[in-house]
Amino acid sequence: MHMDNTQSENISLSYLQPSDYKALKAAMIEAYRSMPGSFWAESQIETLITKFPAGQVVIKINDQLAGCALSIIVDDAELEGEHTYKDITTNFTFENHNDSGDMLYGIDVFIKPEFRGLRLGRRLYDYRKELCEKLNLKGIVFGGRIPNYHKYADQMGPKEYLEKVKLKEIYDPVLNFQLANDFHPARIMKNYLEGDSASSEFAVLLEWNNIFYEKPNKEASTNKTIVRLGLIQWQMRLYDNLDELMQQAEYFIDAVSGYRSDFALFPELFNAPLMAEFNHLSEAQAVRGLAKYTDEIVKRFGQLSVSYNINIITGSMPMVKNDKLYNVGYLCKRDGSIESYEKLHISPLEAKVWGMQGGNILKSFDTDCGKIGILICYDVEFPELSRLLANEGMDILFVPFLTDTQNGYSRVRNCAMARAIENECYVAMAGSVGNLPKVHNMDMQYAQSMVITPCDFPFPSNGIKAEATPNNEMTLIADVDISLLRELNQFGSVQNLKDRRTDLFDLRKKTTRKKKS
């Protein structure tokens, strides 16, 4: 927030100055009429200004002081146990203020009675939030008074009082204001502010979490908030050998990395053209023949990811393990590491024609662009999988797919759009187009690759960030802003993740046990 009066001709927000003390003292006496003598000494204000000038601000109307907010920075560890107002201010000396701390602690905030109703308090809290983000602090915390509690103290404890205020059954001017400003109660504190008889000396520890906080990293970090996705809408065509297929794959990787894409996404079973070599065999034997190429393809993708400095999601390929056939893909990171993912739900045709088995591993992946998830085609039609990944912090869900008809494609697309909304994440889906007349069970393909977003104000109204031309071989490159997901989670018109009724239901992975041999 800028230190000027651009928001209103007569309203200004500025740093507190020592010359403001006389007006500040008068304002405090007026604001705290129920607590006589509750004002800061001039020396204490001077100490705050010296230690942390950016934390002390005043609002003025026509140059008349109307409100004030005072704060210090403390270590999060100081808040783990019980503390009093006297403790947190080090006996009102503010000796514990620490420029290297990670939490902004609100010492005082008030608006003079004559200026209440102008939403000036909200401006002070907005300034604190912006300061918190600017300084990369974890959040804001303070002990909130409950000045109406004395009216109910003989009927209920402070915890029950807090619940009734949250349910709007009891009105508390301070607590209601804090809750309306996105602060959430952490716990009740006893004997917090000596002399606060209106609150029976109870207080509610209130917190606001900075969704943009980044844990300091002493190592060189490449984590990004704007992530560029390169989707490859792959044309199925016959290749004479593996080298030809990988030459085409490298062509696309070169193209999307030339635009500094962070990810290249290939479709499910993009290597199916190599199955023509085994077309004289049954479908089940032919796909197992194709699986013989998988290790070499993964090795080459791993080399390409490093040489082109791009994370490659290899779509998927058949793989034989313990004589069982699986549909498996690989995340080849640009740091040289490789991780695998499995198709968990096998379509009826895959099971019937190829004898394919469903995998057993569901996990999210840490990348230099945040946490991602990968679900192969049919898997995206099962909402439990992506919700489990969302619980692990997934920001982008990648969906390599292969569909032969527009019906099948529509199922994948519509489910992918639902996953973006319900999990507050981006979804990138890429498929194959064209036909393979010389490969049994892979005759034709239909695809329109796209990048999907949640449907709220920071995003496209139809939830589509970018889309390819249907059934044309091409690349699709789009940027997604991870910080917008944090804003959505905190301030969205609807908040799907926050509003889940976890008091009624639970979703968790089962622990798989290895069978004894």
List active site positions.
268, 343, 377
Q: Where are the beta strands (DSSP E) in 409-508?
A: 426-430, 432-435, 444-445, 450-452, 464-467, 474-481
Distance, CA of 56 to CA of 48 (rounded, Å): 7
Distance, CA of 204 to CA of 106 (rounded, Å): 13
Any idea what DSSP says for residue 212? T
Using alpha carbons, list the distances in angstroms from residue 398 to 14, 313, 427, 497. Answer: 47, 8, 6, 19
Q: Give backbone dihedrals phi and psi of 236, rounded to 5 degrees, phi first.
A: -75, 120
Any idea what DSSP says for residue 350? I
Rounded to the nearest 10 degrees, how much is the dihedral formed by the CA atoms of 348, 351, 352, 353? 120
Nearest 5°: the CA angle 37, 39, 44 is 130
CB 172 within 8 A of CB 156: no
CB 459 within 8 A of CB 453: yes
Any idea what DSSP says for residue 268? B
- The gap between the terminal CA atoms of the chain, to the nearest Å, is 65
Distance, CA of 25 to CA of 45 (rounded, Å): 10
Distance, CA of 49 to CA of 45 (rounded, Å): 6
Instruction: Give a three-class secondary structure readout of 17-59.
Output: CHHHHHHHHHHHHHHCCCCCCCCCCHHHHHHHHHHCHHHCEEE
Distance, CA of 55 to CA of 207 (rounded, Å): 17
Distance, CA of 116 to CA of 274 (rounded, Å): 74
